[in-house]
């Protein structure tokens, strides 16, 4: 999990009330690389805005995938990274403030 700026620097501003974000494949590839994701983002991927509270137990990650740069070293893009209690970030959760579905613009 990271801050909105990490997404908006690559994808632009998000609609305030959730919905669909239309992006080009190269933007999505840049986002995936910047966030250090090993799974491919595609149409249908969901970005969620989560309100942090003690319920989600935010913490700095100690381990990660092959792209993990080490505790406290942020994501490959330089954006901050935190982990939350996975049971608290599901779809029907009061901590989810907004969500956006990605739609890839095919050219």
Domain total for the chain?
A: 1
Q: Pseudo-torsion of CA 92, 94, 100, 101, nearest 10°? A: -10
Segments in the chain below pLDDT 70: 52-72, 74, 76, 80, 82-92
Q: Can you give the residue range of the structural domain that contains 45?
A: 4-105
Model confidence, pTM: 0.70
Name the DSSP class of 65. S
Name the DSSP class of 35. H
Q: What is the pLDDT of residue 85?
A: 65
Picking from 41, 39, 26, the residue whose alpha carbon sits closest to that of residue 102 is 41
Question: Token pair of 106, please?
Answer: 């095919």
Q: What is the pLDDT of residue 96?
A: 82
Q: What is the pLDDT of residue 24?
A: 94
User: Residues with Cβ < 8 Å from 46, sequence gap 6 or more?
Assistant: 99, 100, 101, 102
Q: What is the pLDDT of residue 87?
A: 53
Q: What is the pLDDT of residue 38?
A: 80
Q: What is the pLDDT of residue 95?
A: 76
């Amino acid at each position: 999990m990271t801050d909105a700026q990490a997404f908006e620097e690559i994808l632009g501003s998000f609609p305030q009330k959730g919905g669909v974000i239309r992006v080009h494949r190269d933007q999505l590839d840049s986002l995936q690389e910047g966030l250090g994701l090993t799974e491919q983002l595609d149409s249908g991927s969901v970005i969620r805005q989560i309100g942090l509270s003690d319920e989600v137990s935010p913490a700095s990650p100690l381990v990660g995938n092959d792209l993990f740069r080490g505790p406290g070293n942020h994501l490959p893009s330089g954006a901050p990274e935190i982990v939350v209690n996975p049971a608290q970030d599901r779809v029907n959760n009061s901590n989810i403030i907004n969500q956006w579905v990605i739609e890839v613009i095919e050219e």
